[in-house]
Amino acid sequence: MPTYNFKSIQVVPPAKDFIDIVLSKTQRQTPTVVHNGWQITRIRSFYMRKVKHTQTTWHDKLTQILDDFPKVEDIHPFYGDLLNVLYDRDHYKLALGQLNTARNLIDKLAQDYIRLVKYGDSLYRCKELKRAALGRMCTLMKKQDASLKYLEQVRQHMSRLPSIDPAGRSLLLCGYPNVGKSSLMNRLTRADVEVQPYAFTTKALYVGHLDYKYLRWQVLDTPGILDRPLEERNTIEMQSVTALAHLRASVLYLVDVSEQCGYTLAQQAALFHSIKPLFTGKPVIVVANKVDARPLDNLGPEEQALMQGMASEAARASGADPADCLMSMSALSETGIAEVKTAACERLLAHRVEAKVAGKRITDVLNRMHVALPKPRAGAAKPRPPVIPPGVAEARARRDAGEKRRTERDAQEEAGGAGVYSADMRKQYDLKDPAWRYDIMPEIFEGHNIADFVDPDIDAKLAELEREEEELAAAHDAEMAALAEGVEELGSDEEADLAAIRKKKKELVTAHRIRKAAAGNRPVMPAKHGSRGDKTVGRMRESLGALGIDTSAAEARLRSESRGRKRARSAARGGEGGDSEMADADGGAAGGAPAKKRVHSSKSRSMSRGRALSTAPPTPSSGLKDAAQRNKAVKMADRGQRLRNKAARAGEGDRVIQTKMPKHLFSGKRGMGKTDRR
Amino acid sequence: MRIDKCWFCSSAIYPGHGITFVRNDATAFKFCRSKCHKNFKMKRNPRKVRWTKAYRKLAGKELAEDATFEMERRRNRPEKYDRELVKKTVQAVEKISGIRKKRQDRHHERRMARAKAGQVAQDKAALEQQIHLIRAPASLRAKAKDAPAKEKVKVAAEQRAGDAMQE
Ligand SMILES: Nc1nc2c(ncn2[C@@H]2O[C@H](COP(=O)(O)OP(=O)(O)OP(=O)(O)O)[C@@H](O)[C@H]2O)c(=O)[nH]1
Ligand SMILES: [Mg+2]
């Protein structure tokens, strides 16, 4: 159920202000600094963001306006027609439609320009594209100025419309101008509508509220209506007609019987008959006003007939008794106002209930309702007297006999009064045996809380536990026997072996740790190339002997292969594998010349020049196989030591200004001429 | 008056001992001594602290699940006092705790026996797999092949082992 309150529509600024708002928002909310030196992608996204942001702002603002204004089709027909009467439906819809179109155009335009900026090749071009985009958006909106201004006026007017609930209970006052509608309104409610002795004092709908039967009623004061064709009616009258046509209210048609308003009774009756179609299906009461100036009895017979004619028409339109449809009152002397109010409200209530009962929704309510009507039981003849327990009957008898019950207060008074007497709670204990009342319950026993063991069926549980215990004990014995059987203890020599193994392991671990600690960060030399000092025959015999291996055969083989010092020199020449190639080359080139003189294969090299790399074999403990390997190692070490320009400091390849301030340019006295010439 | 359990180590707290911490959600934590209290404040989990009952039970070092524990339970539904029932209960306390003691002893015995068996198996495996540390495989093979050679080798090896031990 929508509420009709148009006060919350936001202000619609005129085009100029609107443009300022949107552009300054873009300016404030997007970055403003851009540099030529930026990457082109960054520049593009900078401008794309501007265009996009402007477009979003326009879009949001326009959407806000379009959502705020009610759609004529969606609201209650009363308001729909009221909008039509007041603001011209076509104009209203056109204005909103134009804003909608402008919104779509701006969206599309922004999309196009963003695509263009995406391919902009310079800051300048991107900027121009952005300018064009924003400019076109603003031009578009500038053209909507008329619509915006119109909408703003509509908004201001709408915010002042009375908030009428079209579905609520309402009383509607209508009649010729100046008949006293506003006076009655002021009497009925706390509204303060202007009352003046000239026509068309009230120019719009007014709403006031009153309470009747604890319900809230709205009273609508309408502008006066003149008796003329619908097309000729002006906006002021049309508001009344709209209210009459669309609101299911109780209509009070006011008639000025004194004719002070300037219209005759006949004219007022004619108006009633011409707007009669608007009354069908509504409770209508013809109210004769200003009876203080001219009582109803003073009316002539034609006038009486006119009044009766109106009353019978009203009765026909609303389906009621003609006598109920004619009432008299005076807003000035306040006579008959309460009666008119009561009658109008009662008629409307009855009418609404009728409408509800006639409608479809009543079945929903009936389906959910059930009224229970209890029937007397079959054997109801049998009397069912109240049951009084014998104990109660006894107590009552004692009480009737004059016996007084002894209360705790009596005990207190006897024992010395309040503060001295302390009530004994235990005597009230409700136990199986009253003798237990003063028992002292043990709480702790052998490190256990007795309360934790209390259980009504402890016997059964204990028996079960003991039975289980026997089974468990038997099972345990069996298991232990099986375990003992399975385990075969170690013999004494096995124990000794085990001890030796453990000792050996411990030694190994210790030795390894020492070695590791001593090694520090130095590279570990493979054992193959390590110092040979400890690899002696004696040691081999000792360690392998300990493992139970006979080393005599190995020792004998070693002895047979070892050489005496004497043979070593003569055999050295042929035995050296590393020099054999060079020796061959020497042989080919110089025939019988001593091989050791020639070292280089190339003759271009001076013999007097020192060698970059040594040709001498590496020392045995260096861990290197031969001279080639050693030279490779030296080269690698050299390369490793070469400093790379890691810190990217100035190098010889860099441009350099040798002297920042050449002496000859900066010293000496200046004579004539400029400072940059000498 | 009752004997409470320490929240941390599960030991008994007799009236007048220990300290109670009441958290702002009204949970009461009782501690038998400052050691347990401090451990709690350090946010230690008693299941991960080796000296607590919770750890020992979780690790299978102590009897954890048993009917005797079921019979000693904090009861939140009060029973009406009954002299006969209390008499029976007091007698039952002795019986139940005696049975529990026996079961705990058996648990320990079983645990020890199993550990022993496991240790022996381990020792045997070590003897099998690491014998090469004290005796070369070649010598072992030789020993397996011919008894006289084995005798000689073995004596030498044992001598060596003995020397090593004296070092
Ligand atoms: N004597 C007399 N004068 C009344 C009575 N009710 C209203 N008037 C006068 O009639 C004049 C018009 O009253 P309004 O209440 O302004 O009449 P209206 O129907 O609201 O007029 P519009 O708003 O112009 O349509 C005022 O001067 C009132 O004082 C009445 O009961 N008796
Ligand atoms: Mg008026």
Please give the single-letter amino acid code of residue A108. K
Q: Could you tell me if A101 and A31 are in contact, meaning their C-beta atoms sit under 8 angstroms apart?
A: no
- Please give the Cα distance from B33 to B37 (Å, whole number): 6
DSSP A199-242: TT---S-EEEEEEETTEEEEEEE-----SS-GGG--HHHHHHHH
- pLDDT at B7 (0 to 100): 97
pLDDT of B109 over the 80 cut = yes
Please give the single-letter amino acid code of residue B48. K
Mean pLDDT, rounded, of chain A:
83
- pLDDT at B86 (0 to 100): 94
Work out the burial of residue A565: count CB atoms within 10 Å of its CB; fewer than 13 is exposed, 13-18 middle, 19 or more buried: exposed
- pLDDT at A564 (0 to 100): 62
- pLDDT at A338 (0 to 100): 86
Average pLDDT over every residue of B131-152 = 72
* B165 touches A at CB < 8 Å: yes
Average pLDDT over every residue of A653-677 = 78
Our answer on whether the CB atom of A312 is closer than 6 Å to any ligand 1 atom is no
Band the pLDDT of A506: cuts 50, 70, 90: very high
Band the pLDDT of A612: cuts 50, 70, 90: confident
Q: Which CATH fold topology does A170-360 show?
A: Rossmann fold (3.40.50)
Strand partners, A172: A220, A251
Mention every residue, 6+ apart, whose C-beta is less than 8 A from residue A176: A224, A225, A226, A227, A254, A256, A261, A263, A267, A268, A271
Our answer on whether the CB atom of A331 is closer than 6 Å to any ligand 1 atom is yes
- pLDDT at A187 (0 to 100): 86
pLDDT of A576 over the 70 cut = no
Task: Give helix then strand counts, H and E, for chain B.
Answer: 6, 4
- Looking at A455-464, A580-589, A651-660, B67-76, which range is the least confident one? A580-589
- pLDDT at A639 (0 to 100): 84
Average pLDDT over every residue of B145-153 = 53
- pLDDT at A300 (0 to 100): 79
Average pLDDT over every residue of A58-71 = 90
- Please give the Cα distance from A119 to A115 (Å, whole number): 7
Band the pLDDT of A299: cuts 50, 70, 90: confident
Q: Among A439, A546, A547, select the one facing B81 at the smallest CB separation.
A: A439
Closest-CA distance of chain B to residue A640, Å: 44
Residues of chain B contacting A460 with CB distance shorter than 8 Å: none
Burial B96-107 (b: 16+ CB within 10 A, else e): bbebbeebeebb
Nearest atom in ligand 1 to A199's CA: 24
How large is the C-alpha radius of gyration of chain A? Answer: 60
Of residues B14 and A676, which shows the higher confidence score?
B14
Structure tokens at A68: 């705020």
Q: Among A472, A480, A549, select the one facing B136 at the smallest CB separation.
A: A549
Our answer on whether the CB atom of A177 is closer than 6 Å to any ligand 1 atom is yes
Band the pLDDT of A660: cuts 50, 70, 90: confident
Q: What stretch(es) of chain A map to CATH 3.40.50.300?
A: 170-360
A296-300 long-range contacts (CB < 8 A, ≥24 apart) are A296/A257, A296/A328, A299/A257, A299/A265
* A558 touches B at CB < 8 Å: no
Question: Nearest CA to A119 among A26, A36, A54, A48?
Answer: A48
DSSP A264-296: -HHHHHHHHHHSGGGGTTS-EEEEEE-TTTS-G
- pLDDT at A595 (0 to 100): 47
Band the pLDDT of A676: cuts 50, 70, 90: low
Average pLDDT over every residue of B117-125 = 93
- pLDDT at A410 (0 to 100): 92
Average pLDDT over every residue of A506-527 = 78
pLDDT of B157 over the 50 cut = no
Mention every residue, 6+ apart, whose C-beta is less than 8 A from residue B4: B12, B13, B18, B30
- pLDDT at A524 (0 to 100): 64
Dmax of chain A from CA atoms? 175
- pLDDT at B63 (0 to 100): 94
Average pLDDT over every residue of A468-486 = 92
pLDDT of A414 over the 50 cut = yes
Average pLDDT over every residue of A4-12 = 83
Structure tokens at A591: 């025939």
Give the number of other CB atoms < 10 A from CB of residue B26. Answer: 6
pLDDT of A672 over the 90 cut = no
Our answer on whether the CB atom of A262 is closer than 6 Å to any ligand 1 atom is no
Q: Could you tell me if A253 and A318 are in contact, meaning their C-beta atoms sit under 8 angstroms apart?
A: no
- Please give the Cα distance from A284 to A572 (Å, whole number): 145
- pLDDT at A80 (0 to 100): 84
Give the model confidence (pLDDT) of A105-150 as tens digits. 999 999 999 999 999 888 899 999 999 999 999 999 999 898 999 9
pLDDT of B161 over the 70 cut = no
Give the number of other CB atoms < 10 A from CB of residue B133. Answer: 18
Average pLDDT over every residue of B91-109 = 95
- pLDDT at A604 (0 to 100): 63
- pLDDT at A623 (0 to 100): 82
pLDDT of B40 over the 90 cut = yes
Strand partners, A335: A330
* A509 touches B at CB < 8 Å: no
Band the pLDDT of A582: cuts 50, 70, 90: very low
Beta strand A326-328 pairing with A284-289: parallel
Q: How many A from CA of A260 to the centre of ligand 2?
A: 14
- 3-state DSSP assignment of residue A191: coil
- Please give the Cα distance from A604 to A588 (Å, whole number): 18
- pLDDT at B165 (0 to 100): 46
Sign for the CA dihedral angle at A260, A264, A267, A271 comes to positive
Band the pLDDT of A351: cuts 50, 70, 90: confident
- pLDDT at A675 (0 to 100): 67
- pLDDT at A650 (0 to 100): 75
Please give the single-letter amino acid code of residue A213. K
Q: Among B12, B75, B116, select the one facing A447 at the smallest CB separation.
A: B12
SS3 content of chain B, % helix, strand, coil (to 5): 60, 5, 30
Band the pLDDT of B47: cuts 50, 70, 90: very high
- CA nearest to A461 within chain B: B71
Q: How many A from CA of A201 to the centre of ligand 1?
A: 10
- pLDDT at A599 (0 to 100): 53
Of residues A584 and A364, which shows the higher confidence score?
A364
Our answer on whether the CB atom of A197 is closer than 6 Å to any ligand 1 atom is yes
- pLDDT at A19 (0 to 100): 92
Mention every residue, 6+ apart, whose C-beta is less than 8 A from residue A286: A253, A255, A272, A307, A310, A311, A314, A325, A326, A327
- Please give the Cα distance from B149 to B155 (Å, whole number): 10
Q: Test B139 with A547 for CB contact under 8 angstroms.
A: yes
What predicted TM-score, i.e. pTM, was given to this entire model? 0.46
Please give the single-letter amino acid code of residue A207. V
Q: Which CATH fold topology does A15-160 show?
A: Four Helix Bundle (Hemerythrin (Met), subunit A) (1.20.120)
Q: Kindly provide the residue ranges of all beta strands, DSSP E only, lying in A422-540, ordered along the sequence.
A: 444-445, 448-449
pLDDT of A37 over the 90 cut = no
Q: What stretch(es) of chain A map to CATH 1.20.120.1190?
A: 15-160
Band the pLDDT of A430: cuts 50, 70, 90: very high
Average pLDDT over every residue of A290-302 = 80
Reported residue count of chain A is: 678
Give the model confidence (pLDDT) of B59-88 as tens digits. 999 999 999 999 999 988 888 999 999 999
CA A51 to chain centre: 29
Give the model confidence (pLDDT) of A229-243 as tens digits. 777 788 888 888 888
Give the model confidence (pLDDT) of A86-107 as tens digits. 888 888 989 999 999 999 999 9
Question: Nearest CA to A241 among A264, A225, A260, A220?
Answer: A225
